[in-house]
Amino acid sequence: MKKSLYLYLLSSILVLFSASSVNANKLTVIFNENIYKDDLFQSDLSISGDISYDTIEAIQNGITANMFVTFQLLRSNSLFAQGRNLKGEKVYSFTISYDVWENSFIIINDKNTYYVDKSSDIIGKINEIISPLSIRVEPDHEKEKVIFRARIKIETIKLYPPLGIFLIFFDPWNYQSGWINTDVFTLEKS
């Protein structure tokens, strides 16, 4: 009896971890072209993938989602090609909610408000807002190796212990990607 209960508990935990890891591969950033000219770094990029169904359903049921897209330009350490010193950073913040009367999603960025009819159009509208991305940066050396990276984070529900303990194992509403890096490239002073 104890052994079957133990196996049931273990298999339940494994299912919960696998369900949350499936959700973790939904959104990514694609870097199309990076240009550095006159101390201005520009990147043509796009977010691909979809926001999870559970998050969209939570938004349609009245939960407000906050989406943060963070971009960083870092000096590259030649040993492991990992960024060490921050050269420039830009963070985009979006508030996503749902208007029941208009049957549309509302995206607020800074003081601008955008409306989209379908959940699949949310990422398209965010791509229009963030691309092309510009970061002012001045290299310290004549030629400097850098990495450009991005991270996406979606926050909907924050529950604190003891109520939030189950979110450690299964959290279908919140999302955070790891850092998505470009290859190492060189900035040259003009």
pLDDT tens per residue across span 17-62: 544 444 444 788 888 887 777 777 888 888 888 888 888 988 898 8
Spatial separation of the C-alpha atoms in residues 150 and 180, rounded to whole Å = 5
Stated pTM of the model: 0.75
Distances (CA, A) of 178 to 28, 37, 187, 188: 9, 29, 25, 28
Query: Reduced to 3 states, what is the DSSP secondary structure of residue 22?
Result: helix
User: What length is written for the chain?
Assistant: 190
pLDDT at position 85 over 60: yes
Strand ranges, E, within the chain:
27-37, 40-49, 65-77, 82-99, 104-109, 112-116, 133-136, 143-155, 175-176, 180-181, 185-188
